[in-house]
Amino acid sequence: MKTLSHSLKNEKSNRPDAVEKLTSRFLSLFKLASALRSAHAYKSKGVSVSEIFVFLVNLAFKNLSLFRALQLENSSARFSKDTCYRFLNSSSINWNRFLNVLSFRVMQWLDALTSDERKSSFIIDDTPFKRDRSRCVELASKQYDHSAKKFYTGFRCLCLGWSDGNSVIPVDFCLLASEKEKQALADSHLDKRTCGYAARSEGVSKATEAMLLCLKRALSLGCWARYVLFDSWFTSPATLSRLLEMNLHAVAMVKQSDKLLYRSGSKLCTVKTIYDESCKRRGRSKYLLSVTAEMCRAAKPGLAELRIPVKLVFVRKGEMAGRKAKNYLVLVSTDTSLTEEEIIQLYRRRWNIEVFFKICKTLLRFGKEVRGISYDAMRASVAVVFVRYLILAWEQRVNTDARTIGELFFEYAEELQEADWKEALQELLTAIIVEIDKDEVIVKVNIEKCIKSFLENLPEDIRQKLKCA
């Protein structure tokens, strides 16, 4: 077996790289340079930050690490690794603002492809950002992975996504650490006026507070959606009340807990009591029970009693689960005008963000590429991964939706229809015969023999289809 060194020059280096062409089309269409400038990412001299950022984005598509990409002799990089590290460790860059601006432009592009009747929604979920083998990572703390049922060292990456039912667009994120790291943040020598300090303060806050901050940033920029989808971890009367104040409706799952009380009729009860005392639907319907109630929070010192009108929809946990087993899930919606089918269909979109996390971890090097120990470098790596996903989501819509090919194709797509191969062959032979009749020099008998010989030499299946036509 022969091995080739990465330092060898590529013989086809003069040919434009397909990866660079793809990313350059996307980044020029959505104006990457202006998005970086809006996030205070700029340099007074030397290589531009947009060139460095595009180089980092292309690493995953080229299956190269930063070190190996800079070692290649045919590399297009005009900077060293120290330049990349200074860029990633910069505390003055607002990566949340950068992702907000870029995602908003992609959302505007997708809005032209989406029907007005389709309901757009925000999706909120978190995923582990592991740094188990690192001891000096800033603000890294012990977290619990509910899927693996074990603890790990690192962060929880809270992500805010936007979905139109077809594509998922990452809009904002936050790397959540433990609240015990507030003391470490207070002892840091970082300037409190920088974006990095504000991001660290958000990272040591509660997940519900960080979720609301992400939503406020997205809405202030102009992102639009009417519904917010999330799991049972974020469902509480206080969260639903804050979302209603922001003119957003929640569609979420509810824990079957004794601490969450609902006023159904004239008494307070849990979802389990509501299910046991209500009459269920018969047969294999999409849902078992639908009840309109009020989610309540008891009055506490400094907090008044809270009542939120909601619609509870009880659905089967699995297709094979019977009604006698009481194996059900409870969905809640603050928009009581929605039908049960619409609530189930909206909550089903929440699974799209799980697919988004899977792609980022398996293909786009989420949490694996940048091994820096600063909090800023890890946030920068998350932003780079999310931009890679934006490129893939945009390319998918370009290849599957006819209207994205261009205005010219959009105008003529309905008029130009692909002809059937039998009709095309018959029209070709007819055209040949018409041209033969025009020329008196060519012997018609010889031409007919040639056409007959041509048809006889065709494959058997084509000859049979021609006879049937």
| pLDDT at residue number 316 | 84
Distance of alpha carbon 107 from alpha carbon 99, whole angstroms: 12
Whether pLDDT at 156 is above 80: yes
pTM of the model: 0.78
Q: Which range has the worst mean pLDDT, 21-35, 60-74, 224-238, 429-443?
A: 429-443
Q: Is 93's pLDDT higher than 70?
A: yes
The domain segmentation of the chain, as residue ranges, is: 249-334, 421-468
59-92 pLDDT, tens per residue? 888 888 888 888 775 566 788 888 888 899 999 9
pLDDT grade, residue 300 (50/70/90)?
Answer: low
Average pLDDT for residues 156-175, to the nearest whole number? 92
Q: Tell me what the pLDDT averaged over the chain comes to.
A: 80
pLDDT band at 438 (very low <50, low <70, confident <90, very high): low
Enter the tokens of residue 286: 């999409």
- Please, are residues 361 and 353 in contact by the beta-carbon 8 Å criterion? no
Q: What percent of the chain is predicted at pLDDT more than 70?
A: 78
Given this model, what pLDDT does residue 110 score? 86
Closest CA to 262 of 299, 310, 220, 198: 310
* pLDDT per residue as tens digits for the range 185-232: 766 778 888 888 999 999 999 999 999 999 999 999 988 899 999 998
* pLDDT computed for residue 18 by the predictor: 67
Residue 80 confidence (pLDDT): 84
Return the pLDDT at 440.
57
Give the mean model confidence (pLDDT) for residues 258-275: 85
pLDDT tens by residue, 42-56? 887 888 899 899 889
Count CB neighbours of 12 within 10 A: 9
pLDDT above 90 covers a percentage of the chain that reads 32
Q: Which of 40, 380, 374, 44 is nearest to 190 (CA)?
A: 374
Name the DSSP class of 300: B
The distance from CA 261 to its chain's CA centroid, rounded to whole angstroms, is: 34
pLDDT in tens, 367-378: 888 778 899 999
CA distances from 176 to 126, 231, 238, 268 (A): 9, 17, 20, 35
Model pLDDT, residue 275: 87
Banded model confidence at residue 321, pLDDT cuts 50, 70, 90: very low
Q: Which residues are CB-neighbours of 63 under 8 A, at least 6 positions away?
A: none
Both tokens of residue 467? Answer: 């006879």
